[in-house]
Structure 1
């Protein structure tokens, strides 16, 4: 028996693309949305949305609350954890090389909705060092990896993300307005790397760089106490970060 499957012009399966569109809209709406909101955002007919949601609910990727709103389901957590582990394993060798070369903690993070998600870390051997739990989500505007990721996006996309997430001040050095953030992102784009200078935690400095051509916006960083991570450290770190980012990009995009 053959199955009649509608494909898109790019060769994809239309129903699969539409299902992911619904998941993206729910995620962009803060993790939950009404049926009418899904229809407005996607332009799909209500019967089509109902059919797709029934499948997503049955598979655990969406739940329906008592108030009839749809929310992201636990099935996505399993997928996300698996993807994060795979991505982290791929990058860990390159992060370990950075730690050997620079002596400070190295991280990799990806864009996750309106936050940054730490996907991998190799810690420094120093007793006083930076530690960020893998799987932790943080704001984009006050982290080195977050700003390196934002610098890859359009100004309109940046404003949308930070408006949705808010821009709380973690320290007195944090950037707290979209205009000031966009000014900093312009500098990041021109020089090719980001700096978190006491912006998330006083006494900590971080140099970060985006991973080119990653499937999802991704960045790596090295961070540590300001007493060790100074201007001279940055001079050494930037070319090593660039080499690591290019190596990770190559691994992400090489043919299986």
Structure 2
């Protein structure tokens, strides 16, 4: 039993445990004290100028943004100096720097649209999807959509240099004229990658001559042992393009039905694919 001398005082408070500070998420808005007012005001001016297709004078911009006229003049001069605005006959317009930002944002949106569309088709078909174009003499893969359940083929040999061996490349080369094909093979001659790879340039050219521009192209273990691929030609303006899928060799019986389904329904993707040419 505690005595009067040893008993704790009924009014004494127990020490509070120290709670460690929680790190702030990088996505959380910063505390108001860290916001930079001049940047906020400059952004408001840029947004307001963007809303005037035919330009606007400083006094109007100051009024619409709620800024004092001297402040507006100072920020406008700075934005003109940095290229985000331009001034013409007393009116302010978006400058080249702002237009570059806008173009970059539009490009990111196009890529996001393409990625989302591919993910839906990948899951519906149950195979990884690839999208490639032939641009400036090179095979360029613009998008690969795979998942843990449908992994993409490992690019163990550069796709640009091995177009003779994979369905993507063969489909693109089949859409070119003879001169463009020979030019490509002069730069990237046939080389054996697996025991199933076409043996030489002449053999490949003969195969491509027999392939119509609208034909489905199938490749069985020519690029990677244990993998089969199919590619369909896509008409996107004047650019040679292709959509392709790949599967493990033990699922080869699924390849043609999946590719034919993709070919039959590819029209739903054409809008996204056309936008992606400029990515």
TM-score for the superposition, normalised by structure 1: 0.56
Whether the 8 Å CA contact 2:174–2:209 is kept in 1: the answer is: yes
Distance 2:168 2:185 in 1: 15
Q: CA deviation at 1:82?
A: 9.7
Q: Which residue of 2 aligns with 1:175?
A: 198
In structure 2, the residue matched to 1:198 is: 221
| Pairwise CA distance, 1:91 | 2.9
Q: Deviations over 1:108-148 (max 9, x none)?
A: 11224444222111114327653459x96442211111111
With normalisation by structure 2, the TM-score equals 0.52
- 1:218 is displaced (CA, Å) by 1.5
- Aligned twin of 1:239: 261
Q: Secondary structure at the match of 1:170?
A: coil
Larger radius of gyration: 2
1:217 corresponds to 2:240? yes
Q: CA deviation at 1:235?
A: 2.4
Judged with a 3 Å threshold, the aligned counterparts in structure 2 of structure 1 residues 96 and 186 are, in CA distance, closer, same or farther, namely farther
CA positional deviation for 1:243: 2.1
> Which of 118, 122, 126 is equivalent to 2:149?
126
Distance 1:82 1:187, change over 3 A: farther
Gaps of 5+ in 2: 1-103
- Measured in 1, the distance between the counterparts of 2:269 and 2:167 equals 18
In the alignment, is residue 104 of structure 1 matched against residue 120 of structure 2?
A: no
CA contact (8 A) 1:145 1:221 kept: yes
- How far residue 83 of structure 1 moved from its aligned partner, in angstroms, is 10
CA 1:98–1:160: 2 relative to 1, 3 Å = same
CA distance in 1, matches of 2:224, 2:106: 28
**What number of residue pairs does the alignment pair up?**
171
Question: Aligned partners of 1:110 and 1:174: how far apart in 2?
Answer: 22
- CA distance in structure 2 between the partners assigned to 1:132 and 1:186 by the alignment: 27
Residue aligning to 1:56: none
Whole-Å separation in 2 of the counterparts to 1:194 and 1:171 = 18
Question: What CA distance in whole angstroms lies between the structure 2 residues aligned with 1:103 and 1:211?
Answer: 20
CA contact (8 A) 1:115 1:139 kept: no
